[in-house]
């Protein structure tokens, strides 16, 4: 069952989301050729504690870092390391914070220096897919509507939507009900949206096939065919007037 958040709880999550967005903005400034992914994690961790929040991912299912850093064919949950970002890479940063008992979660994909036109298009399409999904969030709508609009748009642009991972409800736990799919499947039951629901929409898009495999670190996922991948995510609430992006920058 999907937990419904009170207006007061949503206000707390909006405070936490604002902090998270500010941290992500600072991280974005640090992304450049030559930086090690572990250095980005240190910046993220320092900022999380500076703002009197806690990292949602640190220690979660054995994850050893505050920040997920995924490069090129890696789609999510990459563990920061000695790996150095190179000119032409694209990198996804995924971060969650716990603030006054509630989690928020967001992800962005960024260019490292000058990137190819194809990589630029992949980032633009994934970002726009997230916006299209968010635009369908309002009371009385349906999670299937969100899934369909994301999939149709992404595929119309020549890319594919990951099937093996999805968005999620969020609140007192980092992962709550419901699952928020980015593709539509006939016969699946999709819950209706109700005022007070809070969840993450996070389209994960690939240049090639959507099938994934685990990365060598045991936590991350990457495309099976080695094709470029991209990830954007926001935490948002269903309000009586539509939606509120809690992690808006």
pLDDT number for residue 16: 98
Can you give the pLDDT at residue 178?
A: 96
Give me the residues of the chain with pLDDT under 70, please: none
Question: Domains of the chain, with CATH numbers?
Answer: 7-245 (3.90.230.10)
pLDDT of residue 217: 84
Query: How confident is the model at residue 15, as a pLDDT?
Result: 98
Alpha-carbon distance of 120 to 129, in angstroms, equals: 14
pLDDT the model gives residue 218: 87
Query: Does the reported pTM lie above 0.95?
Result: yes
For residue 2, the model assigns a pLDDT of 84
SS in 3 state form for 195-222? Answer: CCCEEEECCEEECCCCCEEECCCCCCEE
pLDDT score, position 1: 74
216 class by beta-carbon count within 10 Å (0-12 exposed, 13-18 middle, 19+ buried): exposed
Q: What is the pLDDT of residue 118?
A: 97
Output the pLDDT for position 174: 97
């Amino acid at each position: 069952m999907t937990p419904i958040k009170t207006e007061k709880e949503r206000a707390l999550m909006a405070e936490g989301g604002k902090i998270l967005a500010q941290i992500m903005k600072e991280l974005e400034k640090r992304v450049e050729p030559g930086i090690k992914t572990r250095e980005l994690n240190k910046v993220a961790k320092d900022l999380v504690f500076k703002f009197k929040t806690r990292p949602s991912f640190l220690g979660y299912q054995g994850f050893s870092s505050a920040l997920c850093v995924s490069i090129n064919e890696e789609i999510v949950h990459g563990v920061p390391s000695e790996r150095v970002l190179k000119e032409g890479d694209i990198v996804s940063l995924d971060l969650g914070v716990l603030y006054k008992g509630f989690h928020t979660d967001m992800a962005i994909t960024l260019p490292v220096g000058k990137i190819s036109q194809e990589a630029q298009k992949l980032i633009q399409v994934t970002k726009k897919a997230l916006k299209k999904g968010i635009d369908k969030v309002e009371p009385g709508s349906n999670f299937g509507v969100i899934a369909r609009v994301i999939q149709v748009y992404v595929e119309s642009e020549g890319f594919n939507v990951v099937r093996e991972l999805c968005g999620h409800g969020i609140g007192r736990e980092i992962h709550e009900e419901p699952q928020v799919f980015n593709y539509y499947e006939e016969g699946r039951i999709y819950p209706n949206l109700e005022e007070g629901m809070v969840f993450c929409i996070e389209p994960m898009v690939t240049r090639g096939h959507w099938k994934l495999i685990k990365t060598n670190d045991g936590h991350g996922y990457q495309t099976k065919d080695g094709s470029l991948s991209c990830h954007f995510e926001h935490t948002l609430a269903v309000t009586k007037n539509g939606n509120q992006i809690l992690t808006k920058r």
